[in-house]
Structure 1
Amino acid sequence: MFQRSRLALAAGAAGIATVLFGSLAAAAPAPGAPGAGDPYYPNAGNGGYDVSHYNIRLTYNPATDLLSGTTTISAKTTQELSSFDLDFLLPIKSIRVNNLPAQTRTAAVGEVVVTPPRPLANGADLTVVVQYEGTPSTVKDATGFTAWKKTPTTTLAVDEPDIAPWWFPSSNHPTDKATFDVSVAVPNGTEVISNGTFAGTTPQINGWTRWNWRSLKPQATYLTYIVIGQFEIRTQPAPNGQPIVTAYGEDLGDNAESARASIERTGEIIEFESSVFGDYPFEAQGGVASTGLNFALENQTRPVYSDRFFRRGANTSVISHELAHQWFGDSVSVQTWRNIWLNEGFATYAQYLWSEHENEGTAAEVAQYWYDFYPANDPFWQFVVAEPGSGNEFNGAVYDRGGITLQALRTKIGDDAFFTLLKTWTAQHRYGNATIEQFIALAEKISGKPLFDFFQTWLFTKGKPAEGPNGPAPAGLSAKAAHAKPKSIDQIQYTHEILAQQH
C-alpha cells in the first residue's frame, strides 16, 4: 500500500509537471525570441508567450527615488520554451516561474533571459513573479537614455516608445497588450495617478498610503504610466456616464487655470470625437497636467500634458490630439513602429476637425494652410512619412504632412466614404494592431477607388504633391480664403512644436 501510494504520487506529480512545464519527451523546446519582430527596435517585446495581465505592486519613496516591489505577469506560451525574455532595466532580486525559482541572465541592456527549472509546453499557462528594487533615474538604456523623469516635486514614468523597462518587467511592444492592476504605496500627502478606473486608497503603516488603479481593456506597455507628486485630483461623470479623473500638479503656477480650462473639457471633446470616430473604446476618461516633461502623451484613458502647452492660455487643440489617440494608437495600435502615421497623422487631423467644430477654421482651411506654409524646396517635403526610420517617428512631417494627407484623402473619396472609413477602421481593429497597407486596402474597398498612386504620392514619396489637399482648386473656398490663416493655427502650431520635442 505504501509503495503503491508512492508510485501514485510520483505519477500525479509527473502529470502536474507535464501540465505546467510540458513533457521532456516532446519536440525539443527552444528559447523564445528576444524581440517581437519590429525592424526599428529588434529587442522590443518578446517571442514565445503572450501576456494577458500585469499586476504591478510597488513601494516608492520620492525623497530617494527608490522603487521596490513585485510584478506578477499572467501569460500563455505560444511555443515550447526552454527560456524566454523580459524587457527590464532595474536590478532583479528574484524570479519565479509557475511558483518555482528560475535562473536569469542579462543578454543585452534591458534584455533579461529567464530559464525556468523545466521546459514549458506550448499553450501552457504561465505565471512569472518578479521581485525587484532600484533607483530608476540612474538607469539608462542601450543608447544612454533615461526615460524616468524626476524633479524635486514630481516623478513621471511617461514616455514613448519606451517607459515600462524603468518600472516594471514586460513584453514591451504594442503587439502584446494586456490588462493592468497598478498599486503604488507612497508617503502620506503624495498622490499617484495611473490608467483606467480608480480602485481606492488603502492606508499603510508608518504614514504611507497605497493608491490602486485598474485598466480593464487591452493596453500597450508604453501607454501604461504613473505620475507621483502633489496633485489636485478632480472626479466627475462624463456625458456617457464614465468616470472622468483629472489631476493638476500643485506646482503649475500661472499655467494652472489655463490647464484646467483645457483638460476639464475632456468629456466634451471625447463626445465630439466619438461622433466622428465611433464609440469611445475604454472604460474611463481624464487627463493630467504636470511639470517635469516637455511633451504630451496619450496614455490610455488619461493622457499626460506638459504645463508648457498652457503657457499661452487654454489649449483644447492638444487635448483633441491626445484624446484622438485613444482610438488611433491606443485602441488601434501600430503593428510595427514604422506605421506611426496611423497614430500621429490621425491625431493631427482630429485637431483640424476640432478647429472646425469650434468655428476656428475648417479642416480644409487648416490643411490648405499647412500645404501652402511649406515651399516645395523645404526639407519638410523630403521626409517619407511611411518610412520614418528608427528614432524619427516624431518628425514634424509625420504630424503635419500626415494630417494634410487625410484631408487630401477626404477630398478624393468624399465625405461619406471618408467618415465611414474612419469608423470602420476603428471598429475592425479595436484593441488590436494594424498597418498602413491595411488602411489603404480598406480605403479602396469602402471608396471603390484605386488609391495606390494617391498614397504613394502622399506617404511613400519625397517631394511636395502637385495637387493640394483640396484638389486642383480648393473645394468650396475662394483663392483668398484658401491662403488665409485659420484662427486655430497658432494653437495647432504651438502644440506641434512641443509635441515634436519629445525625442
Structure 2
Amino acid sequence: MSRSRAAATATRHFSRMLPGVLLLALCAGCTGGAGAQDAGGASGAGAGGAGVGDALFPRLGNGGYDVRGYRLALDYTPGSRHLEGTARITARADRALSSFHLDLAGLRVRKATVNGRPAKAARSGTELVLTPAAALPKGRTFTATVVYDGKPKTLTGEDTGKEGWIRTYDGAVALGEPTGSMTWFPGNHHPSDKAAYDIAVTVPQGYTAVSNGELKGQETRGRRTTFRWHSGEPMASYLATVAIGRFGIRTTTTGKGLPAYLAVDPTEAAGAENIAKQVDDVITWESRIFGPYPFSSTGAVVDHLPGLGYALETQTKPFFDAAPDQTLVVHELAHQWFGDSVTPRVWKDMWLNEGFATYAEWLWEEDHDGRTAQQIFDDFYDGTDDESEGIWDFPPADPPTVASVSDPPVYGRGAMVLHQLRRAVGDTAFFAVLRTWLKDHRHGNADTKQFIELCERKSGKDLTRLFDVWLYGEGKPKKH
C-alpha cells in the first residue's frame, strides 16, 4: 500500500482503521470444535488454535497446520452481488488435530469435508471450526473442502477505509490488507502462512475476471466465462485478489522478458500503453537496484470504484483506483520484492514493507534528476515534505494498534531509518544488504531482528544505537 503525497488532495493512500465489529471478533476468544481422538495414529489430538498470537491481531490466522495450496472456484454475478465458492485447501498438520480453524467473515457454509469425508462445521465470529470424522495425525497432509455462498462483505473503518469484497462501477474487486481476504474465501489469513493459489472465476459473458499470477485458461459455456489463474510462488492471503469488470486488456512482454497482463478500466483505455511502459521501466530499474524480479509475471489492474483512495500491492498485479503516476508505480512494484516476496512474519513489522517501498521512491527520484535521498530525508525531518506529517507519532517498528499499521511513521520514518543505515554503512554495504535480504528470504517470511542482524554482519558494525534511536525510539531524535 502507499501513502498520500498531499493530504489535502489525497487520492492515493490513507491510514485505515479496522472496523470495530471485525476487531472485536478477531481479538475475542473463539470456541473450538470437539476434541476427538483417532486410534489410527492421532492419539492425544487437540483443537487447532484460533490465531497465531500476532501482537496486533491475536486471533488472526490459525494454529496447528501449514497451508500448502488453495484451489478456489468462484462464481459471481455482479447484478445480484451473489458469490458461490468452493475452497479446496491442502495443508500439513503441525500437530495431531481433532479440529482446526479457518478465518471466514460472513457467507454461508453449505458443506465441509476433510479428506473427502463429511466434517462438522461450526461458526463463532470470524472463526470457522472444522471437526473431521477422524483426527489428523501430526505430519499428515490433508485436504479440507468448504462450499459456501452469499453476498461477500466490504469492511469499512471509521476513516471510511475499505477492504474485502468491494463493488466497483461495473463489477467488484477483492482487496485484502490486512484482513479483507477472509470476506471471500476461508483460509489461514495471517501473512506468516503463505501458499500457492489456483483461482478460477466464472462471470457473465462480456466480463473479465483477473487474479494473481498467470492466466492458464479461458472458457465460455452458455452465457458465462471462466478464467483460470495460477500463482505458483507462495503468496500471503492479504495479497490475493480478484477483479471483475469490463476491462480493456493489454498483454505485453517487459524488457526483462516477463509476461505482463494489464486490465484497465475502459475510461482509462487511452492511457493503457503509458501504464504498460511505466511498469516496464520500473521493473527494469528496480531489478537493477534490488536484484531479479521475484515472480514469473507482472502487470497491473486499474479500476474505478467509489471512495477507495489507495493503491495496493496485490501480488504480480498491483491495484490502482485510477491511472497511477510514476512514483506510485515505483512504490507498488517495489512491494513485489519488499512485502510480497519477502513478507513480514508479524504485522508489527509492516515497516519492512512500507519503509522499503517508500525509500524506493526516494531512490527513484535521486536517480531521475530530482532531489537526492538526503534532501528528501531533510525535508521529512524538517516537516516540509507533504508526507512528513505525523511521522514522529510512534516508532516505526512498534505501531501501537491495528489502526496504526499503515500510519505515517511506518512509511516516512521507516524510509528515514533506511537512509540513516545507508549513511552509517556506505552505499556498497547498504545495497549489498538489500540484495542479500531479498535473496536469503525470497518467497518466505522474515522479521526486524533478522534484518538488523544482517545489517551488522554485512557492515561489520555495531548498529545498536542507530536502530534504538531511529527504529525503536520515541519522539523526534536529534539530527546528526
Query: What TM-score, normalized by structure 2, do the two folds share?
Result: 0.87
Q: Could you say if the C-alpha distance between residues 363 and 140 of structure 1 is closer, same or farther in structure 2, counting changes exceeding 3 Å?
A: closer
How far residue 239 of structure 1 moved from its aligned partner, in angstroms, is 1.7
Q: Could you say if the C-alpha distance between residues 345 and 155 of structure 1 is closer, same or farther in structure 2, counting changes exceeding 3 Å?
A: same
How far residue 416 of structure 1 moved from its aligned partner, in angstroms, is 0.5
Task: Report what 1:281 is aligned to.
Answer: 294
The structure richer in helix per residue is: 1
CA distance in structure 2 between the aligned counterparts of 1:66 and 1:351, rounded to whole angstroms: 40
How far residue 200 of structure 1 moved from its aligned partner, in angstroms, is 2.4
Runs of 5+ unmatched residues, structure 1: 1-20, 473-503
- The residue correspondences of 1:98-117 to structure 2 (distance < 5 A) are 98-107=115-124, 109-117=125-133
> Secondary structure of the residue that 2:164 maps to in structure 1?
coil
Q: Could you say if the C-alpha distance between residues 232 and 387 of structure 1 is closer, same or farther in structure 2, counting changes exceeding 3 Å?
A: same
How far residue 36 of structure 1 moved from its aligned partner, in angstroms, is 1.7
Q: Could you say if the C-alpha distance between residues 133 and 140 of structure 1 is closer, same or farther in structure 2, counting changes exceeding 3 Å?
A: farther
Runs of 5+ unmatched residues, structure 2: 1-36
CA distance in structure 2 between the aligned counterparts of 1:139 and 1:222, rounded to whole angstroms: 14
1:356 to 355, 359, 366: 366
2:420 pairs with 1:405? no
CA distance in structure 1 between the aligned counterparts of 2:41 and 2:88, rounded to whole angstroms: 29
How far residue 257 of structure 1 moved from its aligned partner, in angstroms, is 4.4
2:181 pairs with 1:155? no
How far residue 270 of structure 1 moved from its aligned partner, in angstroms, is 1.1
How far residue 366 of structure 1 moved from its aligned partner, in angstroms, is 1.9
> Secondary structure of the residue that 1:152 maps to in structure 2?
coil
2:153 to 137, 154, 172: 137
> Secondary structure of the residue that 2:348 maps to in structure 1?
helix
Q: Could you say if the C-alpha distance between residues 466 and 218 of structure 1 is closer, same or farther in structure 2, counting changes exceeding 3 Å?
A: same
Equivalent residue letter for 2:314: N
Q: Could you say if the C-alpha distance between residues 258 and 349 of structure 1 is closer, same or farther in structure 2, counting changes exceeding 3 Å?
A: farther
How far residue 367 of structure 1 moved from its aligned partner, in angstroms, is 2.0
How far residue 151 of structure 1 moved from its aligned partner, in angstroms, is 3.1
How far residue 264 of structure 1 moved from its aligned partner, in angstroms, is 3.2
1:425 to 437, 449, 458: 437
Q: Could you say if the C-alpha distance between residues 26 and 329 of structure 1 is closer, same or farther in structure 2, counting changes exceeding 3 Å?
A: closer
2:314 pairs with 1:299? yes
Equivalent residue letter for 1:288: V
- The residue correspondences of 1:369-408 to structure 2 (distance < 5 A) are 369-373=379-383, 379-389=390-400, 390-408=402-420
2:469 to 457, 461, 467: 457
1:367 to 358, 377, 381: 377
1:53 to 44, 69, 73: 69
The worse-fitting range, judged by mean Cα deviation, of 290-299 and 259-268 is 259-268
Task: Report what 2:281 is aligned to.
Answer: 268
CA distance in structure 1 between the aligned counterparts of 2:249 and 2:390, rounded to whole angstroms: 43
Higher alpha-carbon Rg: 1
How far residue 263 of structure 1 moved from its aligned partner, in angstroms, is 4.7
2:193 pairs with 1:176? yes
CA distance in structure 2 between the aligned counterparts of 1:183 and 1:298, rounded to whole angstroms: 21
CA distance in structure 2 between the aligned counterparts of 1:139 and 1:131, rounded to whole angstroms: 22
Task: Note the alpha carbon deviations across 1:421-457, whole angstroms, 9 max, x for none.
Answer: 0000011111111111111111011111111110111
Task: Report what 1:39 is aligned to.
Answer: 55
Q: Could you say if the C-alpha distance between residues 466 and 75 of structure 1 is closer, same or farther in structure 2, counting changes exceeding 3 Å?
A: same
1:66 to 61, 82, 86: 82
Is the 2:247–2:266 contact (alpha carbons within 8 Å) kept by the matching residues of 1?
yes
Q: Could you say if the C-alpha distance between residues 25 and 173 of structure 1 is closer, same or farther in structure 2, counting changes exceeding 3 Å?
A: closer
- The residue correspondences of 1:84-233 to structure 2 (distance < 5 A) are 84-89=100-105, 90-107=107-124, 109-137=125-153, 147-205=164-222, 207-233=223-249
Equivalent residue letter for 2:354: E
Task: Report what 1:29 is aligned to.
Answer: 45
> Secondary structure of the residue that 1:105 maps to in structure 2?
strand
Greater relative contact order (Cα < 8 A, sep 6+):
2
Is the 1:267–1:285 contact (alpha carbons within 8 Å) kept by the matching residues of 2?
no
Equivalent residue letter for 2:329: I
CA distance in structure 1 between the aligned counterparts of 2:113 and 2:136, rounded to whole angstroms: 13
CA distance in structure 1 between the aligned counterparts of 2:229 and 2:300, rounded to whole angstroms: 14
> Secondary structure of the residue that 2:136 maps to in structure 1?
coil
Is the 1:185–1:210 contact (alpha carbons within 8 Å) kept by the matching residues of 2?
yes
Equivalent residue letter for 1:156: V
Is the 2:93–2:136 contact (alpha carbons within 8 Å) kept by the matching residues of 1?
yes
Is the 1:332–1:426 contact (alpha carbons within 8 Å) kept by the matching residues of 2?
yes
Identity of aligned residues (%): 39
Q: Could you say if the C-alpha distance between residues 379 and 355 of structure 1 is closer, same or farther in structure 2, counting changes exceeding 3 Å?
A: closer
Equivalent residue letter for 1:38: D
Count, aligned residues: 436
CA distance in structure 1 between the aligned counterparts of 2:475 and 2:101, rounded to whole angstroms: 42
